[in-house]
Structure 1
Amino acid sequence: MLFAPDTEESLNFVVALGNTTPGSSRSGSDELATTGQLTELLVRFSYTGRIDHDEAELREVRDTRTLLRSIWDLNRDEAVEVVNRMLRDAKALPFLVRHDQLDWHMHATSPDAPLAERMRAEMGLAFADVIRMDEMDRLRICEADDCDGLVLDLSRNGSKRFCTVRCGNRMNMIAFRERKAAG
């Protein structure tokens, strides 16, 4: 295992959130366009604490999505600056909690803090682990020609190239057809 379970869960959430953009979503459209879509995403990842279910919160989460996606394109030193700013702006004071079916894990802000702020703080802690373990190369962009999906490579050998099996299959089919046409 590369990371603690709560770090992996946070990073998987960033991938799911980041892959709601038009260039990376399955539908090709923005899959975080409504408060209902945000609610569905939060339910999938068992988000707790204050959730306002309003347009202002949706806008803040969409801005957070843009910020978190940007970290995928940064080198380690650049990521440190962004992560430190995220933690500082949220006034993060990490603490251990256990709730629902989850064992002890880290939260970084009060459950009453705005949702986007809590996201930035918790993702900041996850990115801090990635940086400390010098594993920024595990954060990639999908290698499919027409996809900019986020890839979190938790494989043992670090060889994951595509955001979904669908992208991998599509690129394999293209390569097969090219080989067949050339041969």
Structure 2
Amino acid sequence: MCCVLLLNSDGWSQSDFIRGDVNCDGVVDPLDNAVLQAFVFGGGSLACRDAADLNDDGVISVTDLTYLISFTSGGGAAPMAPYPGCGPDPTADALTCASMCCVATGCLISDPGDVNGDALVTSSDIIALVNFVFKGGSGPIPCVAAGDINCNGAVTSADIIALVAYVFKGGTPPCDPCTIIPAVWSCP
């Protein structure tokens, strides 16, 4: 596991986290949007409030939700540090993590782009990725990293576009995020 409890010289303690990984599953994706929305509008709780402070201003608000939705839909800026890997909050504020939120996925991808785990890269992988990104369907197999077609550290609509281009137009083949950015996905 990649997380440790830290105590800095100011006396505030915190756990390492990935900013934007609001549900603490090890990846910043559309599933985090729903968790943050529930919290912002009064119906949810967060294990790591620091992860939900996307703009690192020390306050969790609608601005953070907008930031996250924009990023996970493929059109917005990446979250502030720590992102895309695990780390401590570089800014001292009142927000903390009640639990450690850095998850080792143990992911080993043998066929990048094979989102549904059938050993082929076809239109069914596109459908599986659309269901995951837009409908909260089950994650890519063997792990969420298999859906990071463009190796940017997040599974978003940009990955769907890249996979469509590859399958139907002979575009750039999917990369293996475990070889490009193993620290993000904790790939063996």
- TM-score w.r.t. length of structure 1: 0.30
Query: Greater share of helix residues, 1 or 2?
Result: 1
Query: What is the TM-score normalised by the length of structure 2?
Result: 0.30
Larger Rg: 1 or 2? 1
